[in-house]
Amino acid sequence: MPQIEMGADLRQLATGVAESDSAALSELTAELLKLPAKAIRLSTRAAFLLGDPALAEVRGNLTAQAGTFAVHESQRITGISNQSLSAGASVLVSTQADARSARLGFQIEDTEAALETRVRFLTPEAIRALSAPELQTNMLGQGAQTFATLPLAATHIARYTTLAHDPNPLHVDKAAAQAAGFKDVIAPGMLLCALAEMAFAQTSPNTQIQDLRARFLSPALVNTSVQVVVSQTSKTKSRVFVVSETQDIHAIVDIFTAA
């Protein structure tokens, strides 16, 4: 399809992100990381905005054309607070999409809060050709901490996709996932990102995140465990690696905090 590029389109959130959904995401990630239940408002809950009825038409730009499948490439979340995700908030929405990729940008009006989602539309051949780099010790700073998750069961993935209103069949439909070139369904990239944020919160309690940037490099299959490695690179930046049991990197999440 031809490239679609839209200017800022002002929309008003119909439902926003419910407090109960924020709590449910916190509970899910704490459970998977084998931590005590956490009453934390994770920044990554901002991805739930894609389920807001006011953004249904925009969400359609993330739907792959026949013969391709939507694969999450990157995510950025800046300055998100609980208040900015409330029903009634005005959001400036920008969209760029073509047959190969899509970018959605959300800016909460009159705030610094913003969300950017990028996806690629790949053929099964391109998906099978994907190769993940391995985590090397020289990528880590001193004092890195590792958290191992429970196996990412289909029920865990379903709990996340229900909260996020994520319609991507790669996360819930084995036949669709196999048609795309995967062995089975895969965990949503934003679930891995939420695990990274929760692990960071465990190592840096009461720390306010200003900016979170995630890159997704390889899929995490259902019924496999992941390791979440938190490494501080400077006073205001931590890098979190989400890796397989064989150290293939699924995601790299950079977290920036106040000085």
For residue 2, what pLDDT is reported? 35
CA dist list (Å): 76 to 116, 128, 138, 242: 5, 26, 25, 16
For residue 152, what pLDDT is reported? 98
What's the pLDDT tens digit per position in 201-220? 999 988 889 999 999 999 99
Q: What is the mean pLDDT of the chain?
A: 92
Share of the chain above pLDDT 70, in %: 97
Cα separation, 154 vs 184, whole angstroms: 10
Q: How confident is the model at residue 57 (pLDDT cuts 50, 70, 90)?
A: confident
pTM listed for this prediction: 0.94
Cα separation, 20 vs 145, whole angstroms: 30
CATH number, domain at 71? 3.10.129.10
Cα separation, 99 vs 1, whole angstroms: 5
Average pLDDT over residues 15-42: 94
Tell me how many domains the chain contains: 1
Average pLDDT over residues 185-193: 97
For residue 7, what pLDDT is reported? 54
- Strand-strand pairing, 101-108 and 90-97: antiparallel
Indicate the SS3 state at residue 156: helix
108 pLDDT above the threshold of 60: yes
Q: Exposure string (b/e) for 47-74, b if CB count within 10 Å is 16 or more?
A: bbbbbbebbeebbebbebeeebbbbbbb
CA 83 and chain centroid, separation? 20
Question: Vertex 88, ends 83 and 8: CA angle to 5°?
Answer: 100
**Which structural domain, as residue segments, surrounds residue 231?**
4-257
Cα separation, 9 vs 7, whole angstroms: 6
Cα separation, 225 vs 250, whole angstroms: 12
Cα separation, 172 vs 188, whole angstroms: 10
Alpha helices in 119-188 (DSSP H): 124-128, 154-164, 174-180
53 pLDDT above the threshold of 60: yes
Average pLDDT over residues 49-69: 89
Residues in the chain: 259
Is the CB of residue 224 less than 8 Å from the CB of residue 245?
Answer: yes
8 pLDDT above the threshold of 80: no
Is the CB of residue 66 less than 8 Å from the CB of residue 228?
Answer: no
